[in-house]
Structure 1
Amino acid sequence: MLSLRAVNHYYGSQHTLWNVDLELKPGQCTGVMGGQGMGKTTLVNCITGHLPVASGSMTWQEAGAAPYDLMPLSAQSRSAIGIGYVPQDKRIFSQLSVEENLHIALAAGGEPASAFAGEIYDLFPELYALRQSKGITLTADDQYQLALARALITRPRLLILDEPSRVGGQRFLHKLGDLLVRLNRDIGLTILIAEQHLPFIRRVADRFCLLHCGRNVAQGDVMQLDAPLLAKWMTPDPAR
């Protein structure tokens, strides 16, 4: 589905991603692990088209089709081909209602306003109860649910989440984990999660990529995330 080879990125003169390789196969849930400031969000933004790639390749392939170069596509074009993104800052329309937020997401994807709304409210019953409420009045947890619903209502082929553990507490994270497991294992949605909260990744992901100072230092089955590997490359997050 998505293949990255020797991807490099710079912020000005600062080299932030160093020859990163990543392979996402259909139906997998992959966790991009790493401590704070190790390149997780930068990598995610390169994939979504919000940051430029200095060198390397990024290839997208849909079922039954030939692979093609993703890098010339804008962030909007990448969304249109099926890359859904939920950033840390959620990016909802705070002065619009829940329902209006969802309708705008559908319109951007070229779908009628009524399409898939019932399915989304089945996944997020709290949002149905809040559908006339403005985004600014929602709790942080509900705002994240709305951001996730906006991404899912376009029926993405790949869903990318950036550090969801920083949104809410353990109750929120457990509920989100249940939903992601359902989307991945029952529906077959491919998911990429940039995250440093290890228990969450172990619960929802089946593959991992470990970044340290912008370098991919390890990857494989999530069960290979053992204590020696983590002690070598991960700085514990005291807030978790």
Structure 2
Amino acid sequence: MDKRRVLVVDDEEHILELIKFNLEKSGFYVFTSDNGEDCIELLHSNAVDLVILDLMLPGIDGLEVCKEIRKIEGFSKLPIIMLTAKSEETDRILGLELGADDYVTKPFSVRELVARVKAVLRRSEDIKKQEIKVLQLRDIVMDLEKHEVVVSGKKVELTLKEFELLKMLLENKNKVMSRNVLLDEVWGYDYFGETRTVDVHIRHLRKKIGDDETGKYIETIRGVGYKMK
């Protein structure tokens, strides 16, 4: 899975290093900037999944940077976590009104900040998924609102679990999904360890969507799980 990319903006070098070290340890790719102008330039030239933005910056302050980010094409919904001092409550509220998704008060717990980053990214992904109404892979078209699946122009009748399994695979196409992950996401923890359940449903699903023995849609990853390709 690709690393999530986080831009950290703060004019205190030790805070930048502290956050960068801990985010990288948690599996993130981290950019850093110590001022608002460089932050905007970095966003124009790099794909970023989330910004951690200090409120008090030299030159353009955090509130102005937040406003500028929201004007950049494609970044109107980019997750932003603001770093604020306890005395900046009014500015913190204004920051949330300008579009910041969360805030962390200095001095902060690094573990809490990393947890907030993960939570905000999860919420962002959930919102994106809710906004997507149709999933498509070549001849397969899944309409999430109508709860319909069409393959090569013909409607295919799927059970609820088959529909959810196909949805999970389409949402994660080209990613290997282990049997246990599919069990947790589609069936819940009660089925943990019963990987045969997944195999049986994959077999039925393949038959219904016309997936031949070569696995033109669903590839079996031996000993691990499945991948939509």
Question: Do both share a fold (TM > 0.5)?
Answer: no
Q: With structure 1 as the length reference, what TM-score do the two structures score? A: 0.30
Q: Which of the pair has the greater relative contact order for Cα pairs under 8 Å at 6+ separation? A: 1
Work out which of the two has the higher radius of gyration on C-alpha atoms and give 1 or 2. 2
Q: Greater share of helix residues, 1 or 2?
A: 2
TM-score normalised per structure 2: 0.31
